């Protein structure tokens, strides 16, 4: 089992020095992955019709691709994981270009975690249809990989047209694509198209059923389970050493290969405080 960390997006602040101190500190503690969440826009809860959702305009999110471009230059070993990039909201060719650049500048430490999202307000504001986002995502994955591999591409899909063009420079290694989501349709796309799964759920019967479905779908698609990653998450907040260890052990039994700990929403602190929480969690689960 490998252990990573989640960027405390709403608590890290705007200071690039603090960002640098956090990521270098996490790397020094032996974190294997750094996860960054993604939301481009936050809705105003006072808007006509109201708004219900876990995040709104008052919660800060650092844009993951541009932030990782900075982090790639101040770290050496930690893997950089979008968790998760709402891919259907974004232009596919532009994402291909940006991701290829981060992969190159980080010496191939980048992993693209993707999802379809839930915030219709965000989709509308970005001028992207909320409907058929799952089908759009599947086609985007196909196109991303083609753009990363082919010198000149003639591609016609339901949502995209590339007329004899491609990106340059292109990555020199495979860029893993990990899927979020736990709905059956999302899990089937993940099994068919993905290199890994990023669950946002507990280590419970639902997680066991999801892994069983992933294995079944990969077998049906003629794909091996070997090398398929499962990146779970843990919360420092509300936990105890006993609970952290139990949670990690349960996820390992289910099949997780990695766990990242989130240290935000656990009370006021600074960068040193977040690193202290990471150190405490690591000391327990590494045992």
Interval 211-236: pLDDT, tens: 999 999 999 999 999 999 999 999 99
Least confident of 9-13, 52-56, 152-156, 180-184: 52-56
The pLDDT, as a whole number, for residue 50 is 87
Structure tokens given for 195: 């290199």
Topology, domain 2-285 = TIM Barrel (3.20.20)
The rounded distance, in Å, linking the Cα atoms of 67 and 18 is 13
Dihedral-angle region of residue 82 (phi above 0 means left; psi in -120 to 50 means alpha; beta otherwise): beta
pLDDT band at 286 (very low <50, low <70, confident <90, very high): very high
The rounded distance, in Å, linking the Cα atoms of 170 and 29 is 32
Q: Answer yes or no: are the C-beta atoms of 195 and 175 closer than 8 Å.
A: no
Residue found under tokens 């016609």: 156
Q: pTM value?
A: 0.96
Indicate whether 49 pLDDT > 90. Answer: no
pLDDT band at 100 (very low <50, low <70, confident <90, very high): very high
Mean pLDDT confidence for 92-115: 98
Greatest Cα pair distance in the chain: 57
The rounded distance, in Å, linking the Cα atoms of 232 and 257 is 8
Torsion of CA 260, 90, 171, 228, to 10 degrees: 40
């Amino acid at each position: 089992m490998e252990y990573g960390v989640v960027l405390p997006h709403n608590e890290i602040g705007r200071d690039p020095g603090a960002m640098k101190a956090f990521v270098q500190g996490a790397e020094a503690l032996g974190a294997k992955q750094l996860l960054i969440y993604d939301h481009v826009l936050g809705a105003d809860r006072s808007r006509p019709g109201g708004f219900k959702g876990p995040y709104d305009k008052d919660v800060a999110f650092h844009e993951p691709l541009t932030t990782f471009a900075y982090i790639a230059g101040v770290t050496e070993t930690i893997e950089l994981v979008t968790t998760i990039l709402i891919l259907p909201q974004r232009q596919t060719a532009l994402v291909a270009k940006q991701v290829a650049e981060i992969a190159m500048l980080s010496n191939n430490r980048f992993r693209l975690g993707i999802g379809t999202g839930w915030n219709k307000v965000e989709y509308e504001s970005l001028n992207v249809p909320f409907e058929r986002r799952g089908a759009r995502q599947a086609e985007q994955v196909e196109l991303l990989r083609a753009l990363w591999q082919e010198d000149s591409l003639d591609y016609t899909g339901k949502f995209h047209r590339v007329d004899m063009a491609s990106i340059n420079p292109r990555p020199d290694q495979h860029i893993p694509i990990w899927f979020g989501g736990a709905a059956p349709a999302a899990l089937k796309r993940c099994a068919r198209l993905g290199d890994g799964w990023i669950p946002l759920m507990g280590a419970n019967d639902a997680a066991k059923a999801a892994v069983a479905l992933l294995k079944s779908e990969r077998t049906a698609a003629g794909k091996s389970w070997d090398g398929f990653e499962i990146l779970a998450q843990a919360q420092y907040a509300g936990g105890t050493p006993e609970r952290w260890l139990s949670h990690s052990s349960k996820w390992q039994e289910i099949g997780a290969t990695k766990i990242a700990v989130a240290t935000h929403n656990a009370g006021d602190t600074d960068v040193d405080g977040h690193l202290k929480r990471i150190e405490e969690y690591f000391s327990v689960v590494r045992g």
